[in-house]
Structure 1
Amino acid sequence: MFDARSLATAVAVLSAGWLACGPSTSQPVRVMALVRGAGAEGAPGGRYQPTEVQIGSLSDVVTLDGAVAYLVGGAQIYVSSQDPLLSINGGVTSDEQLADIYIKQDGNPPHASYVEKDGVLWPADFHTWNMVTTYYNVEQSFLFFQDQGVDAQVLGRTRVFYFPSFTLADVSQQEQRDNALFFAPVKSLLVLPFDKLQEAPLAMNSSIVAHEYAHVVWNKLVYGGQAVPQGLTIWAQSGVATPAANLLKALDEGFADFHALAQSCRTKFGCDTRGAESSFDAATADARDMAKNDKCLDATMNNMLAGANINDFVAGGYHYEVGTVFASALYHAGNSPDDWALLSKSLLTVYPELKAEIDGNLQTPENFTPTKVVDVVLGGVTSTELQTRVCGEFLGRLKIPREELTHCPAQAQVTGDCP
């Protein structure tokens, strides 16, 4: 939950008694951010409240510019398949050219305002609270994936468009609102303006940011950092049914949820499979809650995965549903935060192999199947005991024939409550 009263009180006190300023930056920066605390008796469910944190990578607290991320305000991003600039050079564009086409206004560094009290910087307005918390959350995700073995140079420095004008013209001419997302065509995180969202702002929701940052990592390790991933694009055009493309979308979502779970275990509020509930509602959290035992690949999901076009698959939200089944198998295979951390790391170690499977089957998408993916995932689990449990969960939730899995230990038994 989001403690709006605490934030309002903090801003009111500061604005009444202090002048906003632009302090010099020394690292680590001691600053107040909106951070979720522990719930009752240490359980998940705590509120987002003003909390002192340290940010180690921030070089400029006014422009929110640092080694991990940098924020850009006032940008305009307009995406249309009918944009005449897309026909330049016969329609062949580099990633940089594509970003230039979509970004109609570059935007500028933001200007955050603070007051200093006892050596701690206090944001002096709502947007500064939001931007500082955004940077802090991105840094926490960076540190998590670095600890999981992803090189800092690979993770790089993420651009974050803050409150841009963002339009997907093929969907609607209205600007998108109430979302935080990784948008691969411009290789950036986007924090969109609020409209109807009434709970914790998405950029302040550490679980949401962790999920979106996991998409950044997936794009770098599985798609090679491509603005328009080649495998996804080719497979999406492979026929009326696009099962391989559908599977890619589902894996991206499900694995992002699982990485976000593993990261949440490092926080005061603890391991949380319902992070979306702080910003949305219980129904949304239920649908994505990998801890629930009912996450199984049922006939409807299987038919959509195998027989639907990617547009219908995504429009129906099946990439989330199928992705949650994969995440649930990993979750239930683990018995502790250490298990989930190890499985998260195991996933990252096989991302290059998934990339090789995609690149090697651009013209043969029928070879990229749930069975192949599960076998690759199993091959990355170094603990035999954990590998056995992971295989049992996938056997039960995806109904994969054991004989098709070369990395499934012989002692693995079908587990779970799936019919």
Structure 2
Amino acid sequence: MLRTVIATTAVLGLAAGCAPDPQTPVKIRALVLSGNGQYVPEEVELKTVDDIVGLSGTVADLHGGARIVYDSRDQELTNATTAEAFAAALLKGEGRDVAANYINQDDVLWPADFHTWNMVTAYYNLERAFDYFREVTNIPLTDFKKPVKTYYFPEFVLADIQPGPLKDNALYFSAMESFLVLPFDQLQRAPLSINAGVITHEYSHRIFNLKAYGGSPFPEALISWSTAGGPNPGANILKSFDEGLADLHAYGATCRSKSGCDTRFLSSSFHGPDQGPLADERDLAKTDRCIDDALRDSLRDNSLSQFSGKEYRVGTILASALYQAGEATGQRDILLRSIVAAYNDETTATPGILQLTRRYIGDQSKFTLAVAAGAIITHVTDLRLKEAVCNELMDHLQIPRDQLVGTNNPNLCPPSAAGGTTCPRLGAD
């Protein structure tokens, strides 16, 4: 990929550089995944950018060179009494606006250096994720907050974990309500900023925060439950759903690309003997993913810190089960819309995840897998799709049928739902 970028820039080196001021949509070249699995320069349009040099617009505002440090011993963080003060204390160096460089060829802008390729592609992928959630899952434009500050190649230090800056990651950092595109080191083939699936996964965390967490930088249920003494089952379930549904939405967004639906969207970035297994572990198309006794016990009995890392395993099981239901019925987009509708719903008969966490804020043990799954089920209105979702969740997450069949709630699973037979039955929970 990097050789392709360098070669392309060299070919265009004789063209005249410029400080462009085009009108939107802007015709520009970005790195896009082709049908043969390679990232290639492709002409695309940026529809929301206001400043093509600073790469800011209504979707995102890129900012470079910042230093962000979380250290539990930092007195500034300890003294912060508001979310705004906490975010300000994290930012140890504000950095600066980015400055992209272009070559204009036949009214199409070509990035003139690697970082411009990387930043343009990141903005384009954020725009695609924004479009996916607006057009497929029907989130109204007014529900989105201001453009998301996107820190490009910041020094991001989690001092409690390691002294130096983190690399090879892209993330939504709710404490700052921002995206972070970190420098790459090991991921040379396809840095995460150019992987549209990864960017949509992170954008999904933003949507989950806006909807299921009420837009709070410090979600009430997650903070309250994770700081309670003893096991944190409610917090573990929330984190698992957040991760699993982010993978499912990332997959759904790939279906809008020229390269087509990709259940292994991580594979273009994570490959080879050291990194390749991650794409296999998160491949939604695998039909034999089952929760086992040990994982179920961890979900119920671990604190959130003890459970760290296992949320991806539970999330993948959830996402794979929902994937199978959507594909088997040919109702993928309908299911994806139903899932987002389940995040926040004040309707008494079909409460959303946000409302259910508030209901059980004083006793997280009541926010079970069945309760969290029920929020999705009650928002699926098509009977065939609802039955398929119920069967897959009963089977793969081993949720007892009597906790999901709607004897007292007609919006839950229909009596015809009996669960699947892929996964071995577990003992009584």
Identify the TM-score tier after normalising by the shorter chain.
over 0.9
Contact 1:393 1:416 in 2 (8 A): no
Q: Does 1:297 align with 2:288?
A: no
2:20 corresponding residue in structure 1: 23
Amino acid at match of 1:52: E
> Is the aligned partner of 1:108 residue 2:102?
no
Amino acid at match of 1:149: N
- 1:294 is displaced (CA, Å) by 2.1
Deviation at 1:155, TM superposition (A): 2.0
Q: Deviations over 1:113-147 (max 9, x none)?
A: 00100110000000000000000000001011111
Partner in structure 2 of residue 9 of structure 1: 7
Q: Is the 8 A contact 2:244 2:316 kept in 1?
A: yes
Structure 1: tracts of 5 or more residues without a match: 40-45
Q: In structure 2, what is the Cα distance between the partners aligned to 1:336 and 1:30?
A: 38
Aligned counterpart for 1:133 among listed residues 121, 128, 141: 121
Moved more, 402-411 or 125-134: 402-411
Distance in 2 (CA, whole Å) between partners of 1:247 and 1:57 is 36
* Amino acid corresponding to residue 30 of structure 2 in structure 1: A
Correspondence for 1:42: none
Do the aligned residues in 2 keep the contact of 1:293 with 1:416 (CA within 8 Å)? no
Task: Assess if the C-alpha contact under 8 Å between 1:271 and 1:337 holds in 2.
Answer: no
Once the two structures are superposed, the pairs formed by residues 176-325 of structure 1 within 5 Å of their partners are 176-281=166-271, 282-314=276-308, 317-325=309-317
Question: 1:227 aligns to what SS in structure 2?
Answer: coil
The structural deviation recorded for 1:285 is 0.6
How far 1:8 moved relative to its partner? 1.9
Checking the alignment, whether the CA contact within 8 Å between 1:29 and 1:56 is kept in structure 2 is: yes
Counterpart residue identity of residue 318, structure 1: K
Measure, in 2, the Cα distance between the counterparts of 1:355 and 1:375.
13
Amino acid in structure 1 at the alignment position of 2:99: H
Moved more, 409-418 or 285-294: 409-418
- Give the TM-score taking structure 2 as reference length: 0.92
| SS of structure 1 residue aligned to 2:20 | coil
Over residues 306-364 of structure 1, what are the superposed CA-to-partner deviations in whole Å (9 max), with x where a residue is unaligned? 111111211xx210000011101100112269522111110110101100111222211
3-state SS in 2 of match to 1:193:
coil
Amino acid at match of 1:153: T
In the TM superposition, residue 254 of structure 1 has moved relative to its aligned partner by 0.2
**Greater helix content:** 1
Report what 1:404 is aligned to: 403
Retained in 2: the 8 A contact 1:38–1:269? yes
Deviates most, 177-186 or 357-366: 357-366
C-alpha distance in structure 2 between counterparts of 1:192 and 1:165, whole Å: 8
Secondary structure of 1:359's match?
A: helix
Amino acid paired to 2:269? S
SS in 1 for 2:357: helix
Maintained 8 Å contact 2:244/2:318: yes
Paired position in structure 1 for 2:386: 387
Matches of 2:303 and 2:189 in 1, distance apart?
Answer: 34
Residue 47 (structure 1) aligned with residue 38 (structure 2): yes
Amino acid at match of 1:371: A
Gaps of 5+ in 2: 345-351, 407-411, 425-429
Alpha carbons 1:397, 1:416 under 8 Å: kept? no
The residue identity in structure 2 corresponding to 1:120 is V
Whole-Å separation in 2 of the counterparts to 1:77 and 1:335: 41
Is 2:50 the counterpart of 1:59? yes
Matched, 1:70 2:61: yes
The answer as to whether partners of 1:262 and 1:337 remain within 8 angstroms in 2 is: no
The residue type equivalent to 1:350 in the other structure is A
What code does the residue aligned with 2:140 have?
A: D
Letter in 2 for 1:400: I
* Structure-1-length-normalised TM-score: 0.94
Q: Deviations over 1:219-244 (max 9, x none)?
A: 11011111121211111122221111
2:234 and 2:365 in contact (8 A); partners too: yes
Equivalent position SS for 1:185: coil
Corresponding residue for residue 98 of structure 1: 86
Tell me which amino acid in the other structure corresponds to 2:5: L
Q: Partner of 1:151 in structure 2?
A: 140
Give identity over the alignment, percent. Answer: 40
What is the aligned partner in structure 1 of residue 427 from structure 2? none
Aligned-residue offset at 1:198: 2.2
In terms of mean alpha carbon deviation, does 280-289 or 50-59 score higher?
Answer: 280-289
Give the Cα–Cα distance (whole angstroms) in 1 for the partners of residues 121 and 101 of structure 2: 14
Task: Confirm whether residue 327 of structure 1 aligns to residue 332 of structure 2.
Answer: no
The answer to which of 400-409 and 157-166 deviates more is 400-409
How far did 1:19 drift?
4.3
CA–CA distance in structure 2, aligned partners of residues 100 and 416 of structure 1: 52
Deviation at 1:416? 5.2
Q: Secondary structure of the residue that 2:332 maps to in structure 1?
A: helix
SS at match of 2:327: coil
CA contact (8 A) 1:113 1:123 kept: yes
Check whether the contact 1:22–1:112 (CA below 8 A) recurs between aligned residues.
no
Deviation for aligned residue 1:105: 1.4
Secondary structure of 2:96 counterpart = coil
Give the ranges of 4+ consecutive aligned residues of structure 1 lying more than 3 Å apart after TM superposition: none
User: For residues 168-201 of structure 1, what are the alpha-carbon distances to aligned partners after superposition, in whole Å with 9 as ceiling and x for unaligned?
Assistant: 1111111111100111111111000112222201
Equivalent-residue separation in structure 1 for 2:78 and 2:414 (angstroms): 52
Aligned mates of 2:97, 2:330 — CA distance in 1: 39
